[in-house]
């Protein structure tokens, strides 16, 4: 992915907020909860040898609690998957058999963001997520004849994972609803984009 495309996406996200001039809706509201849903690029799993056949995700889902004007803390989940093509081979006796591999990644991170710029509908932030990462790999085999030799095997591995967000932007588009994008690196990719919904809390500009 070209860096120019990434920067263009961030600029477009910022410009979208100008379409909601009739709404005086703040992005940062102390005590509020924000629900995020989005996707990330790239899916690292498809770069594994032979795993370029089919990929899914990463898909992201999270919830964030706004602590004061500068910090938010929450929990984020991500999922992605990649598969090889179905390989079909024939042995020396003329018997045909096929097999394929699948690998998936699940992460559950504690997520913290620091907001270093906030003006009404637009906020810029940096952040860090860390926690649990699980890699699941499986292989399925079929003898393609009477299937008496069919089998499958699945292995799991758990480790520590993290995601660093160098710079991100959140923008409110319609009251309560908005979008976000951030650049960084880690287990969830380089670019994250998605939609958000904020509720609760207390804004100084809102009537009680």
CATH number at residue 55: 2.40.160.20
Looking from the CA of 69 toward its CB, the CA atoms found within 13 Å total: 7
Quick one: CA dihedral 186, 189, 192, 196, positive or negative? Answer: negative
Question: Which pLDDT score is estimated for 88?
Answer: 67
Which is more confidently placed, 142 or 199? 199
193 vs 174: CA distance, rounded Å: 17
Query: At 17, is the secondary structure helix, strand, or coil?
Result: helix
Q: Are 27 and 120 in contact (CB under 8 A)?
A: yes
* Within a domain: 206: no
Q: What average pLDDT is seen over the chain?
A: 82
Q: pTM of the full predicted structure? A: 0.76
Partners of 113 in the beta sheet?
A: 72, 127
* Within a domain: 101: yes
* Within a domain: 157: yes
Residues contacting 19, CB < 8 A, separation 6+:
173
Question: Which pLDDT score is estimated for 166?
Answer: 97
* Within a domain: 128: yes
Residues spanned by the domain of 173: 3-200
What's the whole-number mean pLDDT along residues 116-128? Answer: 91
Summarised one tens digit per residue, pLDDT across range 165-207 is: 999 999 998 888 999 999 999 999 999 999 999 999 875 544 4
Q: Per residue in 21-52, is it b (16+ CB within 10 Å) or e — as a string?
A: eebebbbbbbebbbebebbbeebbbbeeeebe
* Within a domain: 208: no
Number of structural domains found in the chain: 1
Question: Which pLDDT score is estimated for 38?
Answer: 96
Question: Which pLDDT score is estimated for 8?
Answer: 53
Question: Which pLDDT score is estimated for 71?
Answer: 96
Summarised one tens digit per residue, pLDDT across range 53-97 is: 678 889 999 999 999 999 999 999 999 988 876 666 666 666 676
Question: Which pLDDT score is estimated for 125?
Answer: 97
Which is more confidently placed, 103 or 46? 103
DSSP state of 86: P
């Amino acid at each position: 992915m070209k860096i120019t495309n990434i920067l263009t996406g961030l600029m477009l996200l910022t410009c979208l907020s100008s379409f909601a001039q009739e709404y005086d809706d703040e992005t940062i509201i102390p005590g509020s909860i924000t629900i995020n849903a989005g996707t990330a690029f790239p899916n690292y799993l498809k770069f594994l040898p032979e795993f370029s056949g089919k990929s899914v995700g990463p898909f992201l889902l999270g919830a964030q609690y706004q602590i004061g004007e500068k910090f938010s803390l929450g929990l984020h989940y991500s999922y992605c998957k990649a598969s090889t093509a179905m390989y079909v081979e024939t042995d020396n006796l003329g018997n045909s058999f096929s097999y394929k591999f699948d690998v998936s990644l699940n992460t559950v991170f504690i997520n913290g963001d620091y907001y270093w710029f906030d003006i009404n509908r637009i906020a810029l932030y940096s952040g860090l997520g860390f926690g649990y990462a699980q890699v699941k790999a499986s292989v399925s085999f079929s003898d393609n004849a009477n299937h008496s030799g069919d089998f499958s095997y699945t292995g799991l591995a758990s480790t520590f994972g993290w995601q660093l967000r160098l710079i991100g932007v959140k923008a409110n588009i319609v009251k309560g609803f908005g979008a976000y994008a951030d650049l960084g690196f880690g287990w969830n990719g380089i670019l994250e984009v998605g939609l958000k919904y904020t509720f609760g809390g207390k804004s100084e500009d809102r009537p009680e």
